[in-house]
Amino acid sequence: MAGWRGSRSGGGGGGEVSPTRTVRLGKVQPQAPGHRTVFCNDRDANALAKYKGNSVSTTKYDVFTFLPKGLFEQFRRVANLYFLMISILSCTPVSPVSPITNVLPLTLVLLVSLVKEAWEDWKRFQNDMSINNSTIEVLQDQKWVFIPWKKLQVGDIVKVKQDGFFPADILFLASTNPDGVCYIETANLDGETNLKIRKAFEKTWDYVTPEKASEFKGEVQCEQPNNSLYTFTGNLIINKQTLPLSPNQLLLRGCSLRNTEYIVGAVIFTGHETKVMMNSMKIPSKRSTLEKKLDKLILTLFTVLFCMCLLGAIGSGIFIDHKYYYLHFDRTEKQFDPDNKFVVAVLTFFTLITLYSPIIPISLYVSVEMIKFIQSTQFINNDLHMYHAESNTPASARTSNLNEELGQVEYIFSDKTGTLTRNLMEFFKCSIGGEVKKPPSAAREKGFNFDDARLMRGGWRNEPNPESCKEFFRCLAICHTVLPEGEESPEKIRYQAASPDESALVVAAKNFGFFFYKRSPTTIHVRESHVEKMGKVQDVPYEILNVLEFNSTRKRQSVVCRYPDGRLVLYCKGADTVIYERLADGDNDLKRISREHLEQFGASGLRTLCLAYRDLSPDLYDSWNEKYIQAKSSLRDREKKLDEVAELIEKELILIGCTAIEDKLQEGVPACIETLSRAGIKIWVLTGDKMETAINIAYACKLINNSMKQFIISSETDAIRDIEDRGDQVELARFMKETVKNDLKRYNEEAQQYLHSVSRPKLALVIDGKCLMYALDPSLRVMLLNLSLNCSAVVCCRVSPLQKAQVTSLVKKGANRITLSIGDGANDVSMIQAAHVGVGISGQEGMQAVMASDFSIAQFRFLTELLLVHGRWSYHRICKVVTYFFYKNLTFTLTQFWFTFQTGFSGQRFYDDWFQSLYNVIFTALPVIIIGLFDKDVNAHLSKKYPELYKEGIRNSFFKWRVVATWAFFAIFQSLVLYYFIVASSSRAVNSSGKMFGLWDVSTMGFTCVVVTVNLRLLMMCNTITRWHHISVGGSILFWFIFVFIYSGVVLPKDQENIYFVIYVLMSTVYFYLTLLLVPVAALFCDFVYLGLQRWFFPYDYQIVQEIHRYEDDSSRIGLLEIGNNDLTPDEARSYAIMQLPGQKSKHTGFAFDSPGYESFFASQAGVFAPHKAWDVARRASMRSRPKISQRKN
């Protein structure tokens, strides 16, 4: 936080960093001391400073660093490092195998990984190139000249056209708009889609044309490049005048220009020194639980390896003896010196390690990685069932590490607004002057779902209180911070609002005939129809004198405006509680009725706001305004002072009425939640909303129903309020803690009773943020956890982003269950990062959540598909892949191990070097990848029809130690069968002329049997067998034969004579064929019996579902899409084609962020105010000079 305190324009001054913060999301870099001086429009002068160029590179490597850096990355993996050590060991005389045995697989694995890295880096490089080579107009010799971005230098004067991107951080000088403002969209930066205003200094407004601009000679002194997006300090010196610069004049790279023909600016920071680039940091990568368990398995294998080697080493010590004269044991070789058995044993230990090294499946990690990569890029990203056609958004896996984690999720933490609900607010009802106007009808327009003849089409004028109606509508049309965009006609205008509620209200005003169509920093233009009589339209400019911003403590927003006739009014809208406190006395009936209405609205899950106004006298206003300006210009505690000043004028309000906005549920949410809960997933809703709203939404989306027993822990009790009123914080804390503790204790007991009762009702817990704060206290945490784990639904309302994260990690760490967080807004970022799996909704609130997430989907309902289909399959597949890898390597190595016993523990290899080295990477590599991609236990339709199947993943049924042990048992059994059957069948003459097999004949036969056996075993574990299974399994076996035909048919320069002609010798005997038929069958016989018995007596759920739907056609997506003869319907073809089209992406998606700038989020966490609503800055800046003018008018 040092950077924040240090920066001069930090705004609110340094706040304390709460010591209890557990979730750190990033950090602000400490600023380098000093400043930079930029001479505008003077390349020579800037040349001295040697600023960095504007070309950016987001690549990890370059041509020279690729190999060392890439290799270093690879060897940070334990498995690779292990194999490197084994490879080194196999170059020593200790090794029984030639180095090729271990070097080759390692090389192949590294090669695959490096190629992947290189490919990804190449894509990044191309992305960089396309960005670096896009053109921008720069002032050269009084003309605008196009040059590529990368040629841009600090100090250049550039021209950016409408909808263009800013190529660097630019000092805003002039725009085509008359008042020197421009509008920018920062979606790439912070995900906010509303437009922001930037304003140039009046002194520089003129430099619009090239002729004029070339005269511009300014000197900019500013801070060193840093990564704080919302601060900027510096001075612009022109004509010996110093103008202080603020973020308001800075146009950041990554943003784009809107609603402005073009702007002219001077480049200040370029390339990697731009704020957006300084911000790009890495998301800490998550690893899946299964992978962590896999590490344990690998560790176990190491132990097994150690034991095997130890056993062999001891054996070798015992075996070695002078009596085997033909072995000529003597002192020349340490390893064969019978007089020093200890050394013999130690060296043999190393020998055996190299020999048994294949027990650690080297290609496991790379194969699993490859499988997951394809799963995420090809399956998840391309799934039409998760493709939202309306917004043209496919699902996207932003990491491929967590695919199988999706199949084991037990707890879902969901944000409400924008996730469960659409974040599309519709004006639904209102109460004006004590009368409810409401009847809803079909939605006419986004944000407006209202058709009441009494109000529409001027009907309000006939109502008993037309004046209050008029005030109501004016309040809606004036008191807001919405920006209009597009044409100034009611049909075509679009509103840019910070919150969708606001735009819903403005749209409502428009429909009532108060059309807000234009905003300048000081005025709001409203086209009022029916002011005096029907059919007449009048454009009324309201001068906006002050805007008192909305924030979470104030819970209200006010605007002071001056009517054209000079009337001064303060319009205020806000939460009922805060407005009622500030109402003038009198008219209690209205207040009472309105309150009733408010409660009604609230109970039906609507979001309410109270509207009020106050007429101001000029004197009163002037005296207040002075205080306001003072507060505004204060350097310390500005926000606090502003709030205090606002209190002075926001009182004695007159209630106009209240509005009710409906927060619509997302499509399919209730069904999705129901399905998920049938799948054994528990859903927690974490929201910042009021308890009533939250409970209401929970009902609406079937999370809670009346048959459930609800436990409510709320801070809104009378007892707590009393203490709150007394204002003793210590007492309050003590009391709250006590209350929460008692509640928890009581509920826990009740929960136990319910759990043991016959009817076993489902339980639900509702808790609010304040109580949660105490419940999360270490002493109560366990109780909270116990209670909540027994509940099938939990609703936490009024929670802060930090609490969301805390709750998530409570379950993640405390209960050790797999958690998933889903959210769409910046306030969900912490939660998304805290959970095992973070899912972002790529929807309304911008990209921040998506940027921090592991998967992004367009709609909440796609979660069914993501978890129940992709997650479940992925889990099944990865489990199969991992256990199969384990099995095949164990089987292979054990045959080698049994052989060791018959070679006097000498460590003689059973298989040829090449056989051993290619076993993992060629002969058994492809089928397992195929199974990792294609295996489906039941099809997608059934996965969703029987959500309960998902529970197998939650229970981790397929990667338990028991499963592994079963595989291990069969691996041991098979290796014994393989080895001893081979021994027994090859001890006698093998052809009619009585010739015998030698070592290499036997081993080649054994290897053939092993390859065939493990490949067949793979087929046995498949649930579906596609053409690719046949090709890969058949191909692997075939490839082995082709390989051995060639390998043993030619003489290689290296020592390969062992194998020379072996396969032909083998194939000339009937023995070979008989053995080849016998051994795999004998080895797999027990597996087959096991599979039959398991299915018969202890079937898995999926197996029963398979049986039920056995005779159904397996065009898996039957439920939704009709696939006749596997041909595509036109619909499918179209949506598939749309998805395949290169998306309309902005230029910056490639590099923009690995993660967004979180500054504003942390800053508020740490108590530091960041003016992240940039237009707020714009308005304040423009208002500094404005009051004077208005006074003069007066």
Partner 1 sequence: MEMDDGGGGAASSTTAGNEANSVSLRHGRSKVMYQFTQQNLPACKPVLSPAWVISIFFAVGVIFIPVGIVSLHASQSVVEIVYRYDSECVPGPLRSNKLAYIKNSSIPKNCTKFFKIPKHMKAPINIYYQLDNYYQNHRRYVKSRNDKQLLHGLEYHDIGSCMPEDVNHGHPVVPCGLIAWSLFNDTYSFFRGIDELKVNRKNIAWKSDRDHKFGKQVFPFNFQNGTLIGGAHLDPNIPLSDQEDLIVWMRTSAFPTFRKLYGRIEEDLVADDIITVKLLNNYNTYSFSGTKKLVLSTSSWLGGRNNFLGMAYISIGSSLIFIAFVFMLLHIKNPRPYGDTTNLSWNWKPMSS
- Chain residues 344-373 in contact with partner 1, contact rule CB under 8 A: 351, 369, 372-373
Instruction: Confirm or reject binding of residue 127 to partner 1 (CB under 8 A).
Output: yes
Report the run of H or E that residue 749 belongs to, with start and end.
Answer: helix 729-756
The residues, any chain, with a CB within 8 Å of residue 7's CB and separated by 6 or more, are 31, 223, 226, 228, 231, 233
Q: Does 378 bind partner 1 (CB under 8 A)?
A: yes
Please give the structure tokens belonging to residue 313.
């080493």
Tell me the window of 153-161, 721-729, 911-919, 1018-1026 that interacts with partner 1 (CB under 8 A): 1018-1026
Question: Binding site annotation covers 777?
Answer: no
Whole-angstrom Cα distance, residue 337 to residue 329?
6
**Least gap, CB of 325 to partner 1 (angstroms):** 6
Q: Is 898 in the site for partner 1 (CB under 8 A)?
A: no
Q: How far is the CB of 1096 from partner 1 (least distance, A)?
A: 6
What mask, x for binding partner 1 by CB under 8 A, covers residues 948 to 967? x--x----------------
- Considering only 655, 940, 1168, 1174, the residue that binds partner 1 (CB under 8 A) is 940
State the virtual CA torsion across 146, 149, 153, 157 in degrees, nearest 10: 50
List the interface residues with partner 1, window 666-725 (CB under 8 A): 680
Q: Which of 37, 1150, 1166, 1176 binds partner 1 (CB under 8 A)?
A: 1150
Calpha distance 1179→1187 (Å, rounded)? 12
Q: Which two tokens stand for residue 270?
A: 């370029």
Positive or negative torsion for Cα 95, 96, 100, 101: negative
Minimum CB separation of residue 989 from partner 1 in Å reads 3
**Of 394, 495, 378, nearest in space to 445 by CA:** 495
User: Does 555 sit near partner 1 (CB under 8 A)?
Assistant: no
Q: Residue-wise over 1137-1161: b if at least 16 C-beta within 10 A, else e?
A: eebeeeeeeebbeebbbebbbbbbb
Please say which residue, 552 or 993, places its beta carbon nearer to partner 1. Answer: 993
323 binds partner 1 (CB under 8 A): yes
Q: Show contacts with partner 1 in window 1154-1173 (CB under 8 A).
A: 1154
Q: Which helix (H) or strand (E) is 446 found in, with range?
A: none
Rounded to 5 degrees, φ, ψ at 861 are -65, -20
Q: Is 975 in the site for partner 1 (CB under 8 A)?
A: no
Q: What is the DSSP letter of 786?
A: H
Segment interacting with partner 1 (CB under 8 A) among 11-19, 82-90, 317-325, 607-615? 317-325
Q: Is 573 annotated as a binding residue?
A: yes
Give residues 29-68 in contact with partner 1 (rule: CB under 8 A).
58
Name which position in 246, 1003, 1015, 1165 contacts partner 1 (CB under 8 A).
Answer: 1003
Please count the other Cβ atoms lying within 10 Å of the Cβ belonging to residue 498.
Answer: 18
One of 122, 324, 961, 1041 touching partner 1 (CB under 8 A):
324
CA dist 57 → 63, 125, 166, 843 (Å): 13, 7, 17, 29
The least CB distance from residue 830 to partner 1, in Å, is 22
Q: How far is the CB of 1081 from partner 1 (least distance, A)?
A: 6
User: Exactly one of 384, 683, 835, 841 binds partner 1 (CB under 8 A); which one?
Assistant: 384
CA distances from 787 to 221, 546, 681, 724, 781 (A): 59, 49, 16, 27, 10
How close are the terminal C-alpha atoms of the chain, in Å?
Answer: 46
Please write down the HEC assignment for all residues of 189-203: HHCCCCEEEEECCHH
For residues 748 to 787, the per-residue mask of contacts with partner 1, x marking binding by CB under 8 A and - elsewhere, is ------------x---------------------------
Does the protein bind partner 1 through residue 111 (CB under 8 A)? no
List 383, 415, 913, 1087, catalytic entry: 415
Nearer to partner 1, 321 or 626 (CB): 321
Residue recorded with tokens 């194969």: 367
CB 96 within 8 A of CB 351: yes
Asked if 237 is part of the footprint of partner 1 (rule: CB under 8 A), the reply reads no
Q: Which of residues 270-299 bind partner 1 (CB under 8 A)?
A: 285
42 is in an annotated binding site: no
Interface with partner 1: number of residues (CB under 8 A): 143
The C-alpha atoms of residue 866 and residue 386 are separated, in whole angstroms, by 8
Provide the edge-to-edge strand list for the sheet that holds 709-713: 396-397, 855-857, 837-841, 819-823, 411-415, 682-686, 793-797, 763-768, 709-713
The tokens for 844 are 């309304």
Smallest separation, CB 30 to partner 1 (Å) = 26
Segment near partner 1 (CB under 8 A), from 99-107, 472-480, 500-508, 1078-1086? 1078-1086
Nearer to partner 1, 345 or 508 (CB): 345
> Does residue 635 contact residue 493 with C-beta atoms inside 8 Å?
no
798 annotated binding-site participant: yes
When asked if residue 1131 is in the footprint of partner 1 (CB under 8 A), the reply is no
Residue 1158 per-residue DSSP state: -
Q: Quote the least distance from Cβ 1071 to partner 1, whole Å.
A: 6
Judge whether 454 is annotated as a binding position. Answer: no
Residue 1069 sits in the site that holds partner 1 (CB under 8 A): yes
**Residue 920 and residue 868: Cα distance in Å, rounded?**
32
- Total residue count of the chain as it appears in this document: 1194
**For residue 677, what are the contacts with CB-CB under 8 A and spacing of at least 6?**
683, 703, 792, 793
Instruction: Decide if 228 contacts 3 (C-beta within 8 A).
Output: yes
Subset of residues 784 to 813 that bind partner 1, contact rule: CB under 8 A? none
* Dist. CA 1135–CA 384, nearest whole Å: 7
- Is 689 part of any known ligand binding site? yes
The answer to the question of residue 120 lying near partner 1 (CB under 8 A) is yes
Q: Is 196 annotated as a binding residue?
A: no
Q: What is the contact mask toward partner 1 in residues 327 to 346, using x (rule: CB under 8 A)?
A: xxxx-xx--x----------
The per-residue DSSP string of 203-261 comes to GGTTTTSHHHHTT--EEEEEEPP-S-TT---EEEEETTEEEEE-GGGEE-TT-EEES-S
Closest approach of partner 1 to the CB of residue 230, in Å: 25
β-bridge mates for residue 213, sequence order:
none
Residue 722: active-site member: no
CA distance 745 to 615: 53
The answer to whether the annotation marks 636 as part of a ligand binding site is no
From the CB of 408, what's the least distance to partner 1, in Å? Answer: 16
The interface region with partner 1, picked from 34-42, 298-306, 583-591, 1138-1146 by CB under 8 A, is: 1138-1146
Site membership for partner 1, residue 1075 (CB under 8 A): yes
| Chain mean position to CA 998 | 60
828 appears as a binding residue in the annotation = yes
CA–CA gap between residue 674 and residue 662 (Å, rounded) = 23
Count the Cβ atoms, other than its own, within 10 Å of residue 341. Answer: 16
Judged by CB under 8 A, which stretch of 3-11, 218-226, 804-812, 1024-1032 contacts partner 1? 1024-1032
295 is in an annotated binding site: no
**Which of 133, 135, 241, 377 is in the footprint of partner 1 by CB under 8 A?**
377
Instruction: Dig out the tokens for 1108 from the structure.
Output: 């039920």
Ligand-binding annotation for 643, yes or no, is no
Whether residue 369 contacts residue 112, with contact meaning beta carbons closer than 8 Å, is answered with: no
Task: Provide the minimum distance between the beta carbon of 396 and partner 1 in the complex, in angstroms, as a whole number.
Answer: 5
The distance of closest approach from Cβ of residue 89 to partner 1 in the complex, given in angstroms and rounded to an integer, is: 15
Taking CB under 8 A as the criterion, the residue among 241, 987, 1191, 1194 binding partner 1 is: 987
Stretch that binds partner 1, among 697-705, 801-809, 1020-1028, 1165-1173 (CB under 8 A): 1020-1028
CB-wise, 282 or 492, nearer to partner 1?
282
Q: Which of 102, 248, 279, 400 binds partner 1 (CB under 8 A)?
A: 400
Residues placed in the known binding site for ATP? 415-417, 502, 550, 573, 607, 687-689, 798, 804, 827-828
Residues placed in the known binding site? 415-417, 502, 550, 573, 607, 687-689, 798, 804, 824, 827-828
Enumerate the active-site residues. 415
